[in-house]
Structures are given as structure tokens and as C-alpha cells.
Amino acid sequence: MSINKDIKRITTETLRLMKFENQKISMLTAYDYTMAQMVDLGGVDAILVGDSASNVMAGHETTLPITLDQMIYHAQSVVRGAERALVVVDLPFGSYQSDPQKALDSAVRIMKESGAHAIKLEGGSEVQKSIKKIVNAGIPVMGHLGLTPQSIYQFGTYKVRAKEEAEANKLVEDAKLLESLGCFALVLEKIPAKLAKVVTESIQIPTIGIGAGPNVDGQILVVNDMLGMTHEFKPRFLRQYLNLYDEITGAIAKYVKDVQQSDFPNENEQYK
Ligand code: KIV
């Protein structure tokens, strides 16, 4: 019997119980009202308003340029479209790393101005004071370890993280620390499947993987990637469920032809 079948709104407590009951958690990103409605209706447990909006919505090369105001705009639209899923919003780069008070102020703005239910931020021990301050204010925090895209210029590559023992050990310690600080869940991005299993078995809070293999408590993908809208991005971990890039460009080419040939609008597509 599914825990969340008849639930009106998924909460952080629902996700905790799902881990406890061995029920996998499904999560996708969304950045606007229309997509959020479809993702919600499709039945995901949680929606992430990811700072990947910087890439897929705004066309930036990295997640670094997106601002807090822009994240709040995306979050407001998603919250209006999501009736059932828990809505989690990324704190963007620069809005929480410098000091805990700034981190809390950023998190409060997201919660107050968007109506979202939780925030996510990247990093382990380096950001522990910020996490503590936000959790103490009653705001649910999702952690994010492994390939943390806001640190891409430090990593210098989007390759798999924590293959070496030292980085793997730090990741396990950071996961335990995030749990002890009160995070309600943890994203594990692009790390070896075996390490994700170790982390998942070491903590009581749910782990949500992206490129972290099957032995985690849930999965997340960027919705534009899994629908095949971002046609050039095909990492090994991505399962593409549609090819919307071809579908959409094909439909638009057909529309252009119909207009050029005066086929559109026809008799039924005009007012008498
Ligand atoms: O911003 C994002 O979309 C994310 C997911 C990839 C986890 O952080």
C-alpha cells in the first residue's frame, strides 16, 4: 500500500516515511507554471525549482549567473502550478556561502515571496553554519553533495566526483553531518553507485540520486533533459523519455509552411 496515494500535499515527513517504508521517491525539476502543472499531474513526489534554470531557461553555460530574484520568479510560477508535490527551491550561487545571516535572509525571501515548501543548497561542512541557521528558523533544508555545479570552476570538469578515497570519505562524513544539522533529504549528484549505496545506508534521511545509480531512496532528473528538449545533452545517467526537440521543431516547421502556403487559417479557423 502506497503511503502517498491519497495525500493532498507531500511533505518532508512523507518523504521520511517513504524511505522508512522502502518506497522510491520520484522528483523532477520545473521552472514555470505550465510544466509544473504537468509534472505535478504526472505524480512526482517533489519538484525542484533548480538553479539549472540558469542553463535550460536562460541559456547560461553554468548555474552561477542566476539571481535570487530570478529564482523567486521561477518558484512563484511553479508553486502556482503544483497542487500535490513538495516544492523545493535552490538557493542560487552567492546567496548563502558568505555568511549564515545572508543565507537565512535568502531562504526567508524564497519561502515568503514564492510560497515554496523547502530550500536546497550545495555543500557539506563548508556551509554548516548556514544550514544550522536556516533549519533553526524552521525552514526545511535539502542538502546536495557530489558534483555540485555551483563549484564547477573549482572542479574544472563535470566528470564523476568522489572516485578517490579521500573525497569519498569526506562525502560520507558530510552526509552524516548534514543529517545531524537537520537536513530532511540529500541530493547525490554524479558519484559512483557503490558510494551512493554506502551513503544511503549510513543515514536515516532520504537520498535522491542523479547519476548516482539505483541504490538511493529516490531519483531526480532535469525535466527538459528527460523530455528530450535539450537535445545535445546526453550524459550516461540520463534516460530520455521523449524527443521533444524533434517534435517541436517539426511542428513549427509545419506551421511555417502552412502560413507560407496560405493553408492556415482555414474556413473553420476564422470568425464569420
Ligand atoms: O539545479 C538542478 O537542477 C539540480 C538537480 C540537478 C539536482 O540541482
Pocket of ligand 1 (CB under 6 A): 29, 48, 50-52, 90, 187, 189, 210, 220, 222
| Rounded-to-integer distance, Cα 38 and Cα 84, Å | 11
Residue 184 has pLDDT above 70, yes or no: yes
Closest ligand 1 atom, residue 50 Cα:
1
CB within 8 A of 86, min separation 6: which ones? 9, 10, 11, 12, 14, 15, 45, 46, 47, 117, 118
pLDDT per residue as tens digits for the range 87-121: 999 999 999 998 999 999 999 999 999 999 999 99
pLDDT per residue as tens digits for the range 252-262: 999 999 999 99
Percent of the chain having pLDDT more than 90?
Answer: 96
Task: Look up 167 and say whether it is catalytic.
Answer: no
Residue 1 has pLDDT above 60, yes or no: no
The answer to whether the CB of 130 falls within 8 A of the CB of 100 is yes
pLDDT per residue as tens digits for the range 194-230: 999 999 999 999 999 999 999 999 999 999 999 999 9
The whole-number pLDDT of residue 106 equals: 98
The answer to whether the CB of 83 falls within 8 A of the CB of 113 is no
189, 201, 232, 267: the catalytic one is 189
**pLDDT band at 191; cut points 50, 70, 90:** very high
| Rounded-to-integer distance, Cα 169 and Cα 53, Å | 31
